[in-house]
Structure 1
Amino acid sequence: MKETPVRFDALDSWRGIAALLVALFHFQAAGFFYSIPFVRNGNLAVPFFFVLSGFVITHAYRSSLDGPQDGVRFMIRRFGRLYPLHIVTLAILVLLELAKLYMSSRGYQGSEAPFAGTNNLPSLVANIFLLQAVIPFPELTWNAASWSISTEFYTYLIFVAVFLGCGAYRQWGAVVMFVASGLLLVWLDYIETTLNLASGLGMVQCVFGFFAGNLTYDIYLRLRDKPYLKGTGPELVATAMMVLLFWFKPRYVAADIIAFGVVILLFSFERGQVSRLLRVRPLLFLGMLSYSIYLVHFIVFTVLFAMVRIAQGRLGIELIRFDGIHELMDFGPAGLMDLLALAYLATIIVFATITYHLVEVPGRQFFNRLSSGFSARRQTSPSIG
C-alpha cells in the first residue's frame, strides 16, 4: 500500500498560514496584533486542519484500504507522522518542568508549582499515550496544542474501522459518521455546553471535521471534470469565506467546519490566480513546516513568557499585566510588542525547520519502513491450517 505523491499545493499553503495564526493566537502580548480578529480567532484553524486532514487522508488511502493488513500499515504510518514530534516536544516540556523544579529549590517561585496544575503527572501519562483529549481533563495540558493530535490519532482508528467494516458501502459508513458526529456536535454547541476541548468536545469536533473532509473529497471526485467551479472566481469566493470566518468566528463550530469543507473544495482544483499565488515557494515552505510550527510554537512562547516573568521578578517592575482574562506581556509601546511577535514567529520557523529535518522526516521514514517491513513479513510468513 503506497501513499500517492500527488499534493494539493494551495491547500498546503493554507495549512502553513493557519499554523502561524494558531501561533499568534497563543502569543500573549499587548500589541496591535493581539486585538486583530484574525489573531483572536486563530484557534479556528484547528477545525480547518481536521477537515483538511480528512480530505488529504482520503485522497491518499481511499483506494488502498482493502483489508486488516492495510489498516495496520495505515496506522503505523499515521503514528509515525504524528508521534515522533509529539513525544520530542513533550520531552522538552518535561525538561523545562525539571528546570522549574530546580529553580524553585533555589527560591524562585513561578505562577504554578512544578509538575502541578496543567503539567501534573497523570496528564503526562495521558500525553505519552496520546490520550490527553480522549480521557477527560478539566483543561488542556502540557503542550496545549497537542490536544488535536490526540483526537486525530483516534479518529484515524475510526476511519479505518469504517472503511474496512463497511466494505463496499464504506462511503455510506462515512456519511453515517458525518451525520452522527454532526448531530452530537450541534447538541454540544446548543445544549450541553459544559464540555471543553480536553473533556470530549475536541474529539467530536475532530471526527465531524475529518468525515466532512472525507465527503468533501468524494464531492471533489464527482466535480473535478466540471468547469464551473474552477478558476479565479470560485477561489476569490473561498478566500472571502476564510477571511469572514476568521474575522467573525461564527458561534457554532459545526457551521465553521462545513464552511471549511466548501473552501477546501473550491481550492482543490487549483486552477485560479489565488492558487498560483499560494504556490509561491515561501508559502509552500510554511506548509511543509506546518506540523512542526503547530507543535513547536507553544514551547517557544512558554520559554519566552518564563524569561519575561523571571526578569520581572529580578527587576522589580511590572512586565506582565492581567487584562481580566489573560496575562499579557506589556513592557513597551504596542509597536514594540508587535516586533516581539514577529521575532517570536521567526524563532518558531527556525526551530520548526530544525525539528522538521531532525525529527519529522526521520521519524516518518522509520515508521514507513516499519510498515513496509510488516507487509513483507506477512506476505512471506507461512499460512496456518
Structure 2
Amino acid sequence: MANNTASGGFADTKQHYAILDGLRGVAALMVVAFHLFEAHAASRFEQVINHGYLAVDFFFVLSGFVIGYAYDDRWRTMSTMDFFKRRLIRLHPMIVIAMIIGAVMFYTQSSAIFPKIQDTPVWLMLVVMVIGMTLIPVGAALDIRGWGEMHPLNGPAWSLFYEYVANILYALFVRKFSKTLLALCVLVAGGAMVHYCLTGPNGDVIGGWSLEPAQMRIGLTRLLYPFFAGLLLSRVVTVGRIKHAFLVSSLIIIAALAWPRIGGAADLWKNGLYDALCIVLVFPLVVYIGASGQVDTRLGARVCAFLGAISYPIYIIHYPFVYTYTAWVAAGKVPLASALPVTVLTFLACIAVAYLCLTFYDIPVRRWLSRR
C-alpha cells in the first residue's frame, strides 16, 4: 500500500493500493495495443494480442474491489448523493473531453469501413457528441458510424456506461448486502458468465457496446460477476505480503491478455473456457497479489503512479485515434509490417494526449468540482 494521496493529487482519508494503480495502467496500455493490432486482423482468430478485450473484465474486478475498500465503511457519514457526486467528479470530466476528441477526429475517419460517416451532417454529429457527454447510449437512429455502437464517437465508452450501472447498483442496493448474499450473487453471476463463455456464438466475451438485446446481455454478464467478485474480495480477504507483487501481477495480466486464441471455429468452447478461467479465477488472483504487495523503491512508486494516473485517460481517449488508424489501414490495405512505424507513433500519441488531458484538464477540473 502507498501513501494517503489518491491518484491525481486528491487528498483521501485512506491509503490506496499503488500496485493496483499500476496494474490498471498496464492493462490500459494493453487495450490500446490490442485495438491497434486489431485493425490488421482478418478475424478474431488472428489477432496479435488476442485476449486484450479481457482487460475490460479486469477493470470491473478492480472497480468492485476498490469501491468496496474505499466506500463500504463510509455510509454512516456519507449520503447516496455524496457517493454519486464523488464518482461523477472522478469519472465524468474525461468522458466529456473524450467525446470532444471523438467529434474533432470524426471526419478524418471517413472510409468504406465506416460507411455512414461521409453522409453524416455536422449538426447530427454534434447532437451525438452532446448526448455522448451525458453517457446516455444511443440507438440505431443515431448510429452515425455504422458499427452499431451505443457511443459512435468513442466506442469504449460503453464500458463506462456499465461502470455507472455498477455504481448505481452498489449505492442503492448492493452496499447493504451481507457477505452471504453477496457471495450468492457472485455464484449466480459467475454461473451466467461461465455459461455464456462456453455456449456463446463466438467463443469469447467480446461485446456489450450496443443497445441490441444480445449485446446488452453480454454487457451485463461481463459487468456483474467481475464487479461482485471484486467487491466480495474487498470484504472477505485479508491481504498478505507478497514480494515483487507488481512484477508478478503485471506479468500475469500481460500474459493473460496477450495469450493466443485457443482452438478454432470447430471448438469455440475452448477459448470460451480460457476467458472464463481468466475472469473467474485469474483476475481476482491478480488483484489479490497486487493488493498484497508494496512498492519499495522510488522508481517503482513513480512507475505505478504514472501508470495509474494515465490509465483512465488513455482508455477513454484512445479509440478516436484507433478509428483513424483503422480507416487508414483499411483504405490502403496496409500490412502490419509496413504500418508498424505508424502503429508505434499512434500508440505514443495516445499516451501523450492522455497525459496532456490529465494534466491540463482532468486534474484541474476535478479539483474545481471538488471545492463546489
Normalization by structure 1: what TM-score? 0.71
7 and 110 in structure 1: CA distance in 2 versus 1, 3 angstrom threshold: closer
- Conservation of the 8 A alpha-carbon contact between 2:63 and 2:227: yes
Q: Give the corresponding residue for 2:277.
A: 255
State the alpha-carbon separation in 1 of the partners of residues 227 and 277 from structure 2.
Answer: 14
Q: Give the corresponding residue for 1:264.
A: 287
- Select the residue among 335, 344, 351 that pairs with 1:342: 344
**What is the 5 A alignment of 1:35-46?**
39-46=49-56
Q: Which runs of 5+ in 2 are unaligned?
A: 1-10, 210-214, 262-270
Partner of 1:260: helix, strand, or coil?
A: helix
Deviation, structure 1 residue 139: 4.2
4 and 182 in structure 1: CA distance in 2 versus 1, 3 angstrom threshold: farther
Q: Give the corresponding residue for 2:228.
A: 211
- Select the residue among 9, 12, 27 that pairs with 2:36: 27
State the alpha-carbon separation in 2 of the partners of residues 13 and 83 from structure 1.
Answer: 21
Letter in structure 1 aligned against 2:309: M
**What is the 5 A alignment of 1:40-55?**
40-55=50-65
Does residue 1:80 correspond to 2:89, yes or no? yes
The percentage of aligned residue pairs carrying the same residue is 23
**What is the 5 A alignment of 1:306-385?**
308=328, 320-321=332-333, 329-330=334-335, 334=337, 336-370=338-372
Q: Give the corresponding residue for 2:322.
A: 301
4 and 57 in structure 1: CA distance in 2 versus 1, 3 angstrom threshold: farther
55 and 133 in structure 1: CA distance in 2 versus 1, 3 angstrom threshold: farther
Q: Which runs of 5+ in 1 are unaligned?
A: 310-317, 322-328, 371-385
Q: Give the corresponding residue for 1:288.
A: 309
Residue correspondences, number: 329
Partner of 1:40: helix, strand, or coil?
A: coil
Partner of 1:63: helix, strand, or coil?
A: coil
- Conservation of the 8 A alpha-carbon contact between 1:15 and 1:287: yes
- Select the residue among 186, 191, 214 that pairs with 1:178: 186
State the alpha-carbon separation in 2 of the partners of residues 12 and 174 from structure 1.
Answer: 25
Deviation, structure 1 residue 36: 9.1
- Select the residue among 116, 141, 161 that pairs with 1:150: 161
Kindly provide the CA deviation profile for residues 262-312 of structure 1, in whole angstroms up to 9, marking residues without a partner as x: 11102211158xx86982524531221111110111122334455x47xxx
Deviation, structure 1 residue 241: 3.9
124 and 181 in structure 1: CA distance in 2 versus 1, 3 angstrom threshold: farther
Partner of 2:182: helix, strand, or coil?
A: helix
Partner of 1:270: helix, strand, or coil?
A: coil
- Conservation of the 8 A alpha-carbon contact between 2:239 and 2:288: no
State the alpha-carbon separation in 1 of the partners of residues 104 and 160 from structure 2.
Answer: 21
State the alpha-carbon separation in 2 of the partners of residues 3 and 319 from structure 1.
Answer: 49
> Which structure has the larger Rg?
1
95 and 241 in structure 1: CA distance in 2 versus 1, 3 angstrom threshold: closer
- Select the residue among 127, 134, 143 that pairs with 2:132: 127
Kindly provide the CA deviation profile for residues 345-366 of structure 1, in whole angstroms up to 9, marking residues without a partner as x: 2111111111112332133324
- Select the residue among 173, 196, 211 that pairs with 1:188: 196
- Conservation of the 8 A alpha-carbon contact between 2:105 and 2:320: no
Q: Give the corresponding residue for 1:379.
A: none
State the alpha-carbon separation in 1 of the partners of residues 198 and 114 from structure 2.
Answer: 38
State the alpha-carbon separation in 2 of the partners of residues 54 and 123 from structure 1.
Answer: 30
Task: Name whichever of 81-90 and 21-30 sits farther off.
Answer: 21-30
Normalization by structure 2: what TM-score? 0.73
Kindly provide the CA deviation profile for residues 192-251 of structure 1, in whole angstroms up to 9, marking residues without a partner as x: 65994132212221221111111222243x344xx6xx234x777645643542214652
183 and 109 in structure 1: CA distance in 2 versus 1, 3 angstrom threshold: closer
State the alpha-carbon separation in 2 of the partners of residues 236 and 277 from structure 1.
Answer: 15
146 and 284 in structure 1: CA distance in 2 versus 1, 3 angstrom threshold: same
Kindly provide the CA deviation profile for residues 44-83 of structure 1, in whole angstroms up to 9, marking residues without a partner as x: 211111111111111111110237x522111111112221
- Conservation of the 8 A alpha-carbon contact between 1:16 and 1:287: yes
Deviation, structure 1 residue 155: 0.4
Letter in structure 1 aligned against 2:184: V
Q: Cα RMSD over matched residues?
A: 4.0
57 and 164 in structure 1: CA distance in 2 versus 1, 3 angstrom threshold: closer
25 and 139 in structure 1: CA distance in 2 versus 1, 3 angstrom threshold: same
